[in-house]
Amino acid sequence: MNLDQLRSFVEVARFGNFTRAAEELYLAQPSLSRQIAALEHDLGAELFHRARGGSTLTVAGESLLPLARRMLADAESVRRELAELAGLERGRVRLGATPTLCISLVAEVLSAFHAEHPAIDLHLSEQGSRRLLDELAGGELDLALITMTDASSAERFTVTPLLVEELVVISSAGAPPITTHDRITLGDVAALPQIVFSSSYDLRAATDHAFAAAGLAPEVVLEGAEMDAVLRFVERGLGVAIVPAMVLIDRPGLRSMRLYAAALDRTISLARPVGVAPTAAVEVMQRTIAATATDFAARAGATMRSADGVEPSPGVTGRGGRAETG
């Protein structure tokens, strides 16, 4: 007995006709007849009353039919399970992330994922949050790590806040400290020579807004740089910059200072399209991102808090709550 024989038996029982069943199964009728005959021989019983007007089930056939259907259903379930497992042996994950996350959290995520699933093809899109959401909506991405959302996002995306990260002021470790206090005011930062990001960065919009809201005009010595360049320029003593805390990991040439009173932060969230079932590989990537975010935050050397606003101990973060806007 094999699955092809059982499938043929179920189709003949459904149509009551060998010819129609053969057409449904894309088989020649003699091949179908041989399968049924072999099945009857193996079971030692006739399964159909054959007549010119059609074929009807015998008592043995009626007993076999529910069992055959169950066996075929179980076989299909096994096939789906194995296909899911095979999805981790081949396939792809298309992940989007903002530039500041690409040189910090995403590097750790992709390293961990690739170590466990080296056969999965990984595609990375490095864009601002709004562009990433456009790519997600257009079916170009499976997941996106973003730092900004808007009210319309809830209709098109499932947005899961991962952690809230503090923005800090950085200066060269080889230069004297920019203040003798444990924190610095936004006004004091505005008076220092400052390196600012490209206008495409979500981070640039956030810092510009903070200075404008405080009625401050920062002293800019260099504008339009990308993240890695900003960090290198600060290391060389060209100026200070406001950056996410986690980019300081493995950067001994930089010194960080927390902002006083007018603290800045950002919510890092994972977005995926509504109504699209994730593949097995995408589901594993989601779990890898969540776990790596928690571990990464513990190493980040700055205070973080859960996305619902409850602040745990310094350097430790949580997940949950709501998505930030802006």
CATH of 3-86 given 1.10.510.10, 1.10.760.10, 3.30.950.10, 1.10.10.10: 1.10.10.10
- Whole-model pTM: value is 0.65
Q: What is residue 302's predicted lDDT score, i.e. its pLDDT?
A: 47
- In angstroms, the CA 9 to CA 36 distance is 6
41's tokens: 């021989």
Residue pLDDT, tens place only, 244-276: 888 887 889 999 898 986 568 888 999 999 888
Residue pLDDT, tens place only, 7-57: 999 999 999 999 999 999 999 999 999 999 999 999 999 999 999 889 999
Q: What is the mean pLDDT of the chain?
A: 85
Query: How much is the CA Rg of the chain, to the nearest whole Å?
Result: 30
- Is residue 45 within 8 A of residue 34, CB to CB? The reply is no
Residue pLDDT, tens place only, 93-137: 999 999 889 888 899 999 999 998 898 999 999 998 889 999 998
Q: What contacts 149, CB < 8 A, 6 or more positions away?
A: 129, 133, 157, 159, 269, 271, 323, 324, 325
> Where are the domains positioned within the chain?
3-86, 91-326
- According to CATH, the topology of domain 91-326 is D-Maltodextrin-Binding Protein; domain 2 (3.40.190)
